């Protein structure tokens, strides 16, 4: 479905009527055991916020350089299941070697739950573990995962935060379109991009998906008819899922302890779905900009009067004042992450900073 981004997203009459009939029907979707659950109390037919995908990488060291069988043992401990490894015979994501990890959930059929990768000159000694939705669903306590990530100084490269509405009363794809048109997905002055997939023109029993954002930008949200995806053409079960990657972001491991505040921090509409304090995962650029503005305000308070004295009474010029006050070879630790590869246009970033100062009165 090709929808113009210059006009509000609309649904045809058939789709609207069909959705109304569906919401009037009772949902028989089973309440499954939810993984990575938050301590927050869910509303009505909503599940708690949970982790639906996790990947992280770390640098191999003498203290922990696991082989494939050790990763299987680790996954077995986290899931309480017997996990076995299978060499894929190829690499993945630029790594030279990769292995898949499988578990039998019903005693007969094997299901893939994770991928481990290592090797390759470009990776510079880093290794990678990816746990998919099925694997995350089997993890008994994400606190154990967080302990490992913190202990090996791993970097979370992707985490998906999700919430299910089993009856589709609060969360459904038609409502998602309304939220978009109302600007409830904005994180600034403009709406993010959107797209649609699935049964938008006619009902084929596979369900619909409404996408917000782009994966290339490090964050994409999917609101989709989960029950229909799983094969029930009459199900109203809908999932709201936000995928966050480490592209220009540092994802804190605390998200594994309690994902709800981070889900709430993604959009205005997220805050209305869950009752929670809000924690945002800022892009590095925005985090640096915010930190820089605070640091400059602090510097003005601390030495602004001294700068005025040096300039007005001792006739120091700007370069002399900078030379007098700067500390050679040192930059603030929280700002040191700002390198040119993390900002596409340094001149534009500088202009944004100066514009922010003008607006804030710094």
What's residue 353's pLDDT?
A: 65
What's residue 41's pLDDT?
A: 43
Neighbours of 48 (CB within 10 A): 20
What's residue 61's pLDDT?
A: 76
Q: Which parts of the chain have pLDDT scores under 70?
A: 1-44, 62-63, 281-292, 329-350, 352-362
What's residue 33's pLDDT?
A: 37
Pairwise CA distance, residues 115 & 92, whole Å: 9
* β partners of residue 195: 211
What's residue 122's pLDDT?
A: 85
What's residue 112's pLDDT?
A: 96
Q: Which of 208, 202, 204 lies closest to 177 in space, CA to CA? A: 208
What's residue 167's pLDDT?
A: 93
What's residue 19's pLDDT?
A: 39
What's residue 320's pLDDT?
A: 86
Distances (CA, A) of 316 to 296, 306, 309, 311: 21, 11, 9, 5
Where do the domains of the chain lie?
Answer: 13-273, 284-360
SS3 assignment, position 329:
coil
65-81 burial, b at 16+ Cβ within 10 Å, e below that, comes to ebebeebbebbeebbeb
What's residue 248's pLDDT?
A: 78
């Amino acid at each position: 479905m090709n929808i113009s981004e210059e006009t509000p997203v609309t649904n045809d009459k058939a789709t609207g009527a069909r959705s109304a009939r569906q919401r009037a029907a009772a949902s028989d979707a089973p309440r499954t055991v939810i993984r990575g659950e938050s301590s927050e109390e869910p509303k009505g037919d909503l599940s708690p916020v949970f982790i639906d995908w996790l990947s992280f990488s770390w640098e191999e060291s003498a203290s922990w350089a696991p082989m494939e069988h050790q990763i299987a043992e680790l996954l077995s401990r986290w899931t309480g299941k017997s996990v076995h490894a299978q060499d894929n015979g190829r690499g993945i994501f630029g790594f030279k070697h990769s292995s898949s990890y499988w578990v039998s959930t019903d005693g007969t059929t094997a299901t893939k739950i994770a991928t481990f990768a290592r090797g390759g000159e470009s990776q510079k000694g880093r290794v990678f573990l990816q746990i998919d939705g099925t694997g995350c669903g089997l993890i008994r306590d994400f606190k154990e995962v967080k302990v490992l990530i913190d202990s090996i100084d791993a970097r979370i490269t992707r985490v998906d935060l999700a919430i299910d509405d089993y009856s589709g009363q609060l969360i459904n794809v038609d409502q998602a379109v309304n939220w978009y048109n109302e600007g409830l997905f904005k994180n600034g002055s403009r709406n993010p991009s959107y797209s649609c997939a699935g049964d938008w023109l006619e009902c084929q029993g596979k369900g619909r998906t409404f996408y917000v954002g782009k994966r290339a930008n490090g964050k994409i949200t999917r609101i989709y008819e989960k029950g229909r995806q799983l094969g029930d053409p009459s199900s109203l079960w809908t999932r709201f899922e936000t995928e966050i990657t480490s592209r220009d972001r540092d994802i804190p491991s605390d998200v594994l302890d309690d994902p709800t505040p981070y889900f709430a921090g993604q959009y205005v509409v997220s805050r209305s779905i869950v009752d929670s304090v809000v924690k945002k995962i800022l892009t590095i650029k925005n985090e640096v900009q915010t930190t820089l503005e605070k640091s400059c305000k602090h510097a003005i308070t601390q030495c602004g009067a001294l700068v005025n004295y040096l300039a007005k009474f001792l006739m120091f010029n700007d370069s002399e004042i900078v030379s007098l006050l700067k500390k050679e070879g040192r930059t603030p630790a929280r700002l040191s992450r700002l390198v040119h590869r993390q900002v596409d246009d340094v001149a534009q970033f500088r202009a944004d900073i100066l514009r922010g100062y003008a607006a804030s009165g710094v």
